[in-house]
């Protein structure tokens, strides 16, 4: 495809785990890489819940894409929003009218929250996908304690001190655990009228166990740890209303009446769907039907439909693993696909024989519940408790993109561990009257 | 005023330097202290320009008020917005209708930007008073570089790479220096189409010298340092228009035509006025006339009018110093007034003779221009260059409210010094289409 005088143009959309690693894997190759993202930074999403609970600052888990890629001479970062594709003309279309031509295209714009068609829920129950999501959740959680301190009405106080997390996967479990620790330890002595330790944290999960992707035993351990922290876990139950002052939870056993939980703070960690750009791409290519969650079905080499020049990777792609089930929407899958696809492209440029199909190498999964408590499984081994927690800390530190952030996170975790303080607990973002908001 | 059974109620409005120190100085006294603020944190405003230029995160210079005061048993923090006063009834009125009764009142809500009646300017030229101000300035500065990278029009590129700072006091000088360093060093290798080092930074000051409060020699050194960094300094000149794509600067020499500077990014560091609550308080007391900048004239003991029970301190107060000129709006003035007023109250509670009038002990002032360059004067001594810069670093670290923040700032400064990197350069706050903004 390269004619020898003009470099082969690889355009990557999305600077998350998949897109960034694809770009990095194309360093020092003959390809000319353009990485397009709406944001100017790569975000380490697995730690967003720590921003939402005041343990870390957004910048600690976000690294400017230009900074990461500045020494990579064949790569260009473009801040922009992709709105469409000209497939026959081989170009990506940006919102401002720019056409970005490609020889090979990699689409990796990830996933977003899925509220199953309930448009109101997005406002009432923010999730954790962006920096703004995290600072908004932080604002809501901390403001609820403030309102509890202000009121003299015991019913309102109880409502303000009730936090509902919807979804018992890793994000939901981590978020519930972090809110509980915030209330029980960090804020313990902060208030005069309320005892934050009386806060109620409710975790709602539709399946019969939390951490459904983990082994039974680890799910059971996680549940026990959650109970040990005083978190109420409702299994086999679905939220069927999120209203301004309460949620309604319907147990799957329809003989049981819906449970009303009075709360002002709901965090969404339940459903995700592929970024809407997946649908746009499928329509532009034609003959490709996205799945129920908007995922783009890909060929075994991560190409789409009959287009060897277009790849979809990461959370947006739907590809069966060796067990026949679709690969999970996890950072390691995206990362490995990014590396793999870069390898496919380089082989083509060199005229070598194509690589075999993508194989996900599952190094393991882990989730943390709270201080000293985590579960992990790797290569058939299962860990829980302190060992799993230390492994979780180590791995998350190592995967942070930049040395400075590793040091900053490490210091804050250490400090948090020793003092149980979380100093990044700022209520920001809402315009206080009389000052200019941002 | 205390009747022996009910504690004497001291209400402090504002958790800035003055209000916070007043509260801390009343620790372990018989007074019952309530500190009211709209925000849940104390903000170290002198370092906001470092947030605005990506060197620090907001949480590094902000400490939760509850956290600072949590061990101070006689003190209660109230998050709320004061809208008025019932002086005869001795109560503070909050926006939500709450009445907070006081025996003694301390008002310390500081200052805000003064755009001299130009309502449009607030939006076009944000200043640096709040966390939201700083993240907004950061967004604008970084976005301008991104737009410069995108355009192919040399005139637009030049406009995007022009940054105007209005006001040559410490904040303006520090901001101009930081933008220049960001462009010349931090972003040097980040872009492919533009050379950020070609950015133009223009500092506009109405007086014949920058850092007008400093000795002539230091002002001259600061000017030389600014020139050495390539910053254009326009002295004796006033901005008379701030439009969406340019500013007009009128030199005081009216024979010279106004100068048009094409720019998309203007930072306001020129005028401040007292928080509007000063006027509200003066009206409520009666017989008190606020000054032109809304400052409340106070008696030598910081009380207002004929009210021995009402104090105004910090940027909001107007009190002549020993030289007859009003004391400057600086953190040390506010801090010393906070301590002083707490002392006055404690003496009264003990029935001791009143303290003498407030005397400001001027330990000195300093301003930093850039890496290794600062000016400082203290007790008749004047320093500049590296020594002043090291003193600046040391003093600012020491005055940060919490140990954790001292360590985090120190590490980031060290890292910034060694690598010239500033990792907190996130473009946040504007709602990217398709995601929920905050």
In which residue are the tokens 């002990």 written?
A: B361
For residue B99, CA distances in Å to B22, B36, B82, B94, B384 come to 21, 12, 10, 6, 50
Average pLDDT over residues A360-382: 92
The span from the CA of A87 to the CA of A106, in Å, is: 13
- Residues A282, A266 share a domain: no
Domain boundaries, position A324 = 9-38+80-110+275-350
- Residues A212, A134 share a domain: yes
pLDDT at B414 exceeding the cut of 90: no
Average per-residue pLDDT in chain A?
93
Question: How far, in whole angstroms, is CA A55 from its chain's centroid?
Answer: 17
Q: Report the residue from A129, A411, A435 with minimal CB separation from B411.
A: A411
Position B230 scores a pLDDT of 96
> Which residues 205-244 of B have a C-beta within 8 angstroms of A?
none
Q: Report the residue from A60, A77, A432 with minimal CB separation from B39.
A: A432
Q: What is the 3-state secondary structure (H, E, C) of chain A?
A: CCCCCCCCEEEEECCCHHHHHHHHHCCCCCCEEEEEECCCEEECHHHHHHHHCCCCCHHHHEEEHHHHCCCCCCEEEEECCEEEEECCCCEEEECCCCEEECCEEEECCCEEEECCCCHHHHHHCCCCCCHHHHHHHHHHHHHHHHHHHHCCCHHHHHHHCEEEEECCCHHHHHHHHHHHHHHHHHCCCCCCCCCHHHCEEEEECCCCCCCCCCCHHHHHHHHHHHHHCCCEEECCEEEEEEECCEEEEEECCCCCCCEEEECCEEEECCEEEECCHHHHHHHHHCCCCCCCCCCEECCCCCEECCEEEEEECHHHEECECCCCCECCCCHHHHHHHHHHHHHHHHHHHHCCCCCCCCCCCCCCEEEEEECCEEEEEECCEEEECHHHHHHHHHHHHHHCCCHHHHHHHHHHHHHHHHHCCCCCCCCCCCCCCCCCCC
Position B4 scores a pLDDT of 47
pLDDT at A438 exceeding the cut of 80: no
Residues of A in contact with B404 (CB under 8 A): 411-412, 415, 419, 421, 423
Interface predicted TM-score (ipTM): 0.88
pLDDT at B423 exceeding the cut of 90: no
Helices (H), B48-130: 48-52, 65-68, 121-124
Q: Which residues, in sequence order, are CB contacts of A278 under 8 Å at separation 6+? A: A107, A109, A290, A294, A295, A296, A312, A316
- Residues A290, A252 share a domain: no
Separation in Å, CA of A147 to nearest CA in chain B = 9
- Residues B371, B343 share a domain: no
Q: Categorize the per-residue pLDDT at A119 as very low, low, confident or very high, splitting at 50, 70 and 90.
A: confident
Q: Report the residue from B76, B139, B427 with minimal CB separation from A192.
A: B76
- Residues B105, B199 share a domain: no
pLDDT at A2 exceeding the cut of 60: no
Position A1 scores a pLDDT of 42
Residue that wins the pLDDT comparison between B91 and A213: B91
- Residues A280, A238 share a domain: no
Q: Which residues, in sequence order, are CB contacts of B275 under 8 Å at separation 6+? A: A434, B14, B109, B110, B111, B112, B294, B315, B316
> Is A1 a member of any domain?
no
Average pLDDT over residues B341-370: 94
Position B430 scores a pLDDT of 59
pLDDT at A437 exceeding the cut of 90: no
Kindly identify which residue of chain A lies nearest to residue B409, measuring between CA atoms.
Answer: A408
Tokens read off for A13: 């959309």
Q: Is A174 a catalytic residue?
A: yes
Tokens read off for B27: 């620790």
pLDDT at A430 exceeding the cut of 80: no
- Residues A260, A303 share a domain: no
Q: Categorize the per-residue pLDDT at A406 as very low, low, confident or very high, splitting at 50, 70 and 90.
A: confident
> Is A305 a member of any domain?
yes
Q: Categorize the per-residue pLDDT at A402 as very low, low, confident or very high, splitting at 50, 70 and 90.
A: confident
Residues of B in contact with A426 (CB under 8 A): 40-41, 58-59, 62, 64, 131
Pairing of strands B259-262, B99-101: unpaired
Position B436 scores a pLDDT of 29
Contact indicator for A369, A222 with CB cutoff of 8 Å = yes
CATH of the domain at A16: 3.50.50.60
Please say whether the dihedral angle defined by the alpha carbons of residues A346, A351, A357 and A362, taken in this order, is positive or negative: negative
> Which residues 160-189 of B have a C-beta within 8 angstroms of A?
187, 189
CATH of the domain at A374: 3.50.50.100
> Is A186 a member of any domain?
yes
The span from the CA of B167 to the CA of B176, in Å, is: 10
The span from the CA of A315 to the CA of A328, in Å, is: 8
Position A42 scores a pLDDT of 96
SS3 B329: coil
> Is A4 a member of any domain?
no
Q: Which of A258, A224, A228, A231 is nearest to A243 (CA)?
A: A258
For residue B367, CA distances in Å to B225, B364, B385, B395 come to 12, 11, 11, 11
A427 with B276: Cβ contact below 8 A: no
> Is B51 a member of any domain?
no
pLDDT at B434 exceeding the cut of 80: no
Q: Categorize the per-residue pLDDT at A432 as very low, low, confident or very high, splitting at 50, 70 and 90.
A: very low
> Is A153 a member of any domain?
yes
Helical (H) or strand (E) element with B418: helix B403-419
Number of domains in chain B: 2
- Residues B132, B104 share a domain: no
SS3 B94: strand
Position A354 scores a pLDDT of 86
- Residues A323, A256 share a domain: no
Of A1-10, B229-238, B376-385, which gets the smallest average pLDDT? A1-10
- Residues B392, B280 share a domain: no
The span from the CA of A185 to the CA of A424, in Å, is: 15
pLDDT at B432 exceeding the cut of 70: no
Of A413-422, B1-10, B29-38, B153-162, which gets the smallest average pLDDT? B1-10
pLDDT at B1 exceeding the cut of 80: no
Separation in Å, CA of B217 to nearest CA in chain A = 37
- Residues B280, B266 share a domain: no
Chain B contact present for A81, CB below 8 A: yes
Please list the active-site residues of B: 174
Chain A contact present for B273, CB below 8 A: no
Pairing of strands A32-37, A75-79: parallel
pLDDT tens digits, one per residue of B255-285: 999 999 999 999 999 989 999 999 999 999 9
- Residues A158, A288 share a domain: no
The span from the CA of A310 to the CA of A298, in Å, is: 10
Average pLDDT over residues B144-156: 95
> Is B298 a member of any domain?
yes
**Catalytic site residue from A32, A136, A174, A377:** A174
pLDDT at B241 exceeding the cut of 60: yes
pLDDT tens digits, one per residue of B80-123: 999 999 999 999 999 999 999 999 999 999 999 999 889 899 99
Helical (H) or strand (E) element with B388: helix B386-399
Q: Categorize the per-residue pLDDT at A434 as very low, low, confident or very high, splitting at 50, 70 and 90.
A: very low
pLDDT tens digits, one per residue of B181-190: 999 999 999 9
Position B5 scores a pLDDT of 54
Separation in Å, CA of B316 to nearest CA in chain A = 15
pLDDT tens digits, one per residue of B12-28: 999 999 999 999 999 99
pLDDT at B287 exceeding the cut of 50: yes
pLDDT tens digits, one per residue of A125-168: 999 999 999 999 999 999 999 999 999 999 999 999 999 999 99
Tokens read off for B42: 């104390």
> Is A134 a member of any domain?
yes
Separation in Å, CA of B74 to nearest CA in chain A = 10
Residues of B in contact with A408 (CB under 8 A): 408, 411-412
Position B73 scores a pLDDT of 94
């Amino acid at each position: 495809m390269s004619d020898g005088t003009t470099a082969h143009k690889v355009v990557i959309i999305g600077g998350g785990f998949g897109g960034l690693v694809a770009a990095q894997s194309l360093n020092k190759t003959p390809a000319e890489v353009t990485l397009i993202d709406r944001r100017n930074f790569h975000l380490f999403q697995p730690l967003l819940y720590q921003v939402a609970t005041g343990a870390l600052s957004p910048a600690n888990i976000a690294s400017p894409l230009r900074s990461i890629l500045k020494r990579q001479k064949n790569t260009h970062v473009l801040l922009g929003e992709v709105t469409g594709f000209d497939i026959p003309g081989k170009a990506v279309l940006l919102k401002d009218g720019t056409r970005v031509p490609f020889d090979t295209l990699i689409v990796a714009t990830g996933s977003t929250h899925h509220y199953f068609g309930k448009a109101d829920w997005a406002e009432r129950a923010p999730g954790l996908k962006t920096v703004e999501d995290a600072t908004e959740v932080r604002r809501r959680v901390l403001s609820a304690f403030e309102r509890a301190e202000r009121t003299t009405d015991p019913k309102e106080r109880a409502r303000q001190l009730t936090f509902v997390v919807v979804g018992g996967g890793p994000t939901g479990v981590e978020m519930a655990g972090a809110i509980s620790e915030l209330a029980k330890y960090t804020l313990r002595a902060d208030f005069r009228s309320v005892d934050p330790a009386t806060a109620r944290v409710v975790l709602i999960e539709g399946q019969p166990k939390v951490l459904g992707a983990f082994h039974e035993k680890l799910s059971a351990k996680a549940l026990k740890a959650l109970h040990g922290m005083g978190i109420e876990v409702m299994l086999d139950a679905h939220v069927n209303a999120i209203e301004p002052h309460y949620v309604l939870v319907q147990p799957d056993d329809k003989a049981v009446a819906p449970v009303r939980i009075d709360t002002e703070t709901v965090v969404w960690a339940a459903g995700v769907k592929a970024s809407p750009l997946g649908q746009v791409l499928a329509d532009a290519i034609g003959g490709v039907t996205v799945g129920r969650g908007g995922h783009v079905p890909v060929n075994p080499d991560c190409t789409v439909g009959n287009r060897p020049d277009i790849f979809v990777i990461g959370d947006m792609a739907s590809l069966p693993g060796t067990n026949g089930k679709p690969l999970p929407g996890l950072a390691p899958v995206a990362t490995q696909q990014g590396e793999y696809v870069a390898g496919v492209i380089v082989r083509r440029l060199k005229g070598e024989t194509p690589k075999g199909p993508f194989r996900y190498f599952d190094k393991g999964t882990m989730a943390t519940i709270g201080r000293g408590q985590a579960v992990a499984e790797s290569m058939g081994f299962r860990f829980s408790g302190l060992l799993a927690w230390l492994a979780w800390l180590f791995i998350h530190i190592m995967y942070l993109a930049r040395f400075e952030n590793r040091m900053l996170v490490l210091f804050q975790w250490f400090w948090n561990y020793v003092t149980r303080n979380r100093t990044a607990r700022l209520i920001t973002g809402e315009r206080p009257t009389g000052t200019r908001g941002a």
